[in-house]
Structure 1
Amino acid sequence: MNQPEHRPSRRLLLVHAHPDDETIGQGATMARYVADGRGVTMVTCTAGELGEILVPELEHLAADRDDRLGEHRRTEIAAAMAALGVTDHRWLGGFGRYRDSGMQWHPDGHAIAADQTAENAFALADLTEAADHLVAIIREVRPQVLVTYDQFGGYGHPDHIQAHRVAMYAAQLAAVTSYRHDLGEAWAIAKIYWGAIAESAMRAGLRAMREAGAGDGEGFSGLDPDGPMPHFVTPDADLACAVDASAFVDAKLDALRAYPTQVSVDGPFFALSNNVGASAFGVEHYRLAAGTLGPVGDDGLETDLFAGLG
Structure 2
Amino acid sequence: MTRRIVLVHAHPDDETLTCGTTMAHHAARGDEVHVVTCTLGEEGEVIPANLRHLEGHPADLLAAHRRGELSAALAALGAHGHVLGENGLGARRYRDSGMAGSAAAARREAFVNADLSEAGAALAGLLRDLRPDALVTYDPDGGYRHPDHIQAHRLTRAALDGLADGELPTRTLEIRTPRTWAEQDRAWTREADSAAYGLVVLAPEDTHPPSVVDDDEITHVVEDPSTRANKLAAMRAHATQVIVATDDLHALSNLIARRTTDREAFRQVDPRTWEPVPIAARRPGPVADLIG
Place the TM-score, normalised by the shorter chain, in its bin: 0.7 to 0.9
Displacement after TM superposition at 1:199 (Å): 1.6
TM score, norm. by length of structure 1 = 0.80
Aligned to 2:274: none
1:188 pairs with 2:173: no
Which residue is 1:69 aligned to?
A: 62
Say which is worse superposed, 197-206 or 287-296, in terms of deviation: 287-296
Of residues 22, 36, 40 in structure 1, which corresponds to 2:15?
22
**How many residue pairs are counted as aligned between the two chains?**
274
Unaligned runs of 5+ in 2: 252-256, 272-276
1:303 counterpart = 2:288: yes
Match of 2:102 in 1: 114
Aligned mates of 1:224, 1:235 — CA distance in 2: 20
- Deviation of residue 269 (structure 1)? 7.1
Instruction: List aligned pairs for 1:118-137, cutoff 5 A.
Output: 118-137=107-126
Between the aligned residues of both structures, percent identity stands at 38
- 2:146 maps to 157
- Tell me how far 1:80 sits from its aligned partner: 0.2
> Match for 1:305: what amino acid?
L
* CA separation of 1:271 and 1:239: change in aligned 2, threshold 3 A: same
The residue aligned with 1:288 is 268
Q: 1:245 to 1:223 in 2, by over 3 A?
A: same
> Is the partner of 2:249 in helix, strand or coil?
helix
For 1:130 and 1:289, the matched residues in 2 are separated by 22
Equivalent in the alignment of 2:233: 254
**Alpha-carbon contact 2:219-2:267 (below 8 Å) kept:** yes
Q: Deviations over 1:16-44 (max 9, x none)?
A: 00000000011011111011011111110
- Taking structure 2 as the reference length, the TM-score comes to 0.85
Letter of the 1:56 counterpart: A
Q: Distance in 1 between matches of 2:76 and 2:136?
A: 20
CA root-mean-square deviation: 2.6
Q: Judge conservation of contact 2:137–2:152 (CA < 8 Å) in 1.
A: yes
Q: Return the letter of the residue paired with 1:167.
A: T
Cα distance in 1 for partners of 2:94, 2:220 equals 31
SS at 2:174's partner residue? strand
Task: Give how far 1:293 is off.
Answer: 6.2
- Tell me the residue number matched to 1:94: 86
Give the letter for the 1:144 counterpart.
D
Which of 242, 258, 281 is matched with 2:221 structurally? 242
Per-residue CA shift, 1:61-104, capped at 9, x if unaligned?
12245421010000000000111111x2101121771100111x
Contact persistence 2:132–2:169 (CA under 8 A): yes
